[in-house]
Every structure is written in structure tokens, then in C-alpha cells.
Amino acid sequence: AAAGVVTLTTILILLEAPALLWLEPAYGEPGDLSPQLRQLESQLTEEVKAALKAAEDNLKLPEGRKYDKALGPALAGDLNRIMNECFQANKASSFQSFLILVRIGQEGTVEKVYILPEIAIANCLKSALPGIQFPVPPGPAWWARIDVKIKNEDHEPERFRSTTAIVYGDEAAVLVSSPDGWVIDNVSGVSQGLYCVMYPEGSSWEKGNEVMYINISLCQPGETIEDSIAGDSGRFKKNYPEVTISELEPVITLSGEKVLLRTFSGGGYKNYEAVGYARFKNSLICYVLTSRDQQGFEANLNNFIKMIAGSFIIWKAKE
């Protein structure tokens, strides 16, 4: 059997907590173990050594490298959802980077898992891995290596900027990437109840001429997406009777949800705003672009639409 090393895409896990946990890219190379794992190498069983060697050997193969590139994007949503749940369940535990060796069957099912070292959060992830559907590997009994790099940092805004994030609601979550040249910040909007705001690099949430954000809320019983849009439109009309409300072509997300678009401008309303509305089970996901002027709005509307189209809405498992 052979194996490939998983290159995890950069995913920032958004947590409503004083400290945040996220995964960074771990570009594995044959024989590339962290100093902590090097110390454990002499203690590994023969079975684990064989699995590790298979993973390293397969990284040298063209099909192994191709599979490696496919694994990161395919697993990002599931891995980060599970890591968030494991983090919440093991807050009292110490955290450190760890390595996972997983044997994948011909249908993409998990057959065997080893973790190094066996810390609480890694064991939590290990127990959940059999429930993940992996991409179909190039061959049977395929060993893959996943390097998980964990960082715990203080709650400082300048440290929590990324280009990809998972935004959590009560029952739904959205995997989203910021437009080119934009960053995601999950600290600056917290006081306003927003855990995922975006703005151009070099700008800020407070001073940016154009900003975007995502908000997830639960719908009232019987509330439809049309009701939600009508409610927003009614509030705008009440405050700005002459406001112009326009309908744009819907956008389809990567996960297949239709997002209905409306724009709001003029009539005394000082900003130019576009809102995308998506319904997922009992949740309403709102994507918002707002600009202080028409020029900035028009220049970034296409970026906004691309951001929506590239997002992926997933079900959040109940705790």
C-alpha cells in the first residue's frame, strides 16, 4: 500500500471564545517530522512505522502527489467542523500539533487510523474520522498522512486575519473565502454580533470604504426566504421612503443553494448595499456588501458575487 501527505488548506475556525484555534498548511515531505514527533519515532510500533513509511513513499509518486492536492479541499469542511467540536469538548486539555495516519479503502472509507502523539484533541478527531468520506484513492488500502498544526493565540485582531473561514450559526455553517486582495477578520465585528467581516488588505472594518460580512440566523416558524427579503425591504422603505431596491440575478453556491440578491441605494440612504439571501434548513444566511460610495460599490460587486458563488453551506452537527 502507498500513501500521500495531505496538504490542508488554510482554514480559520471562528469560535465565540477568548482564544481561537485554527489549522495552518502542513506541507509534508518524506521524512519531514516535527521535533516533537521525532522524539517519539523510536517509540513507534512496527505497524505505525510501516504506515508512516507507506505515506512517505507514496508522496514520491505522481498519483500520490495528485491525490495529495485533492485531499486538502475535499476534507477542509469536515476536518475543521470536527476540530471545532473537539476543541470545545477538550478546552481543559493542552494543545500541540499532531500527525494522523489514515488508511483509506477503495470506496473512500476510513479503514485504520493512527495518531502521534495520542493527546486528547487528536483522539477526539481520530474517533470521528471513520464518519468522513474521503476522495476515492488511486489504490486499495491507501495510507494518507495528515499533519495538523495547532496554534492558540490571544484575542488580538491583527492576529486573526485569514483568507478562508468557517462561519458558524446555530445549525448551519458557511465555508467561505475572501475575494482576491481582501482579508477575513473575525474579531473587529464581534461587538456588532458579526464573526466574519471582510475588507481590502491594508484597510480595516472601521475605516474601510467597502466591507463585506456574513451573518447566520434562525428563521421564525413558517418564515420563508421571501418573508425575510420583504422584511428587510420594508425596514429600508420605512427609514428611507425613496430608497431604490433592485433585484439581481440569483447566485448558486458551491453546495448548490440559490442565493437571492437585492441592492439598496439612494433615497437618503448614504451607503450602497447588496444583500444575498440563502435559506438552509431553518437558517437564513445573509451575505452583505456595503460601500460608502457608488464607485466602490460597482467596483466590488463582482467580487461579492464571486465570494458567494465560491462559498459552501454545510449542516452543523448538534452538540
- Residue 275 pLDDT exceeds 90: yes
Q: In this predicted structure, what is the pLDDT of residue 8?
A: 34
Residue 63 φ/ψ region, left for φ over 0, alpha for ψ in the -120 to 50 degree band, beta for the rest: alpha
Pairing mode, strands 269-280 and 142-153: unpaired
Q: Please tell me the total count of domains within the chain.
A: 2
Same structural domain for residues 167 and 142? no
Q: In this predicted structure, what is the pLDDT of residue 30?
A: 43
Residue where a domain terminates, one of 98, 131, 153? 153
Tell me what the mean pLDDT of segment 121-140 comes to. 86
Task: Decide which of 143 and 156 is more confident.
Answer: 143
Domain that holds residue 63: 3-153
Percent of the chain past pLDDT 70, that is, above it, reads 75
Q: What is the CATH number of the domain that holds 281?
A: 3.40.1000.10
Under a CB-based contact definition with an 8 Å cutoff, are residues 104 and 142 in contact? yes
- Digit-coded pLDDT (tens) for 276-313: 999 998 899 999 999 999 999 999 999 999 999 999 88
Helices (H), 102-245: 120-128, 225-239
Residue where a domain terminates, one of 153, 180, 201? 153
- Digit-coded pLDDT (tens) for 51-101: 988 988 888 888 988 887 777 667 766 776 677 677 667 654 555 677 888
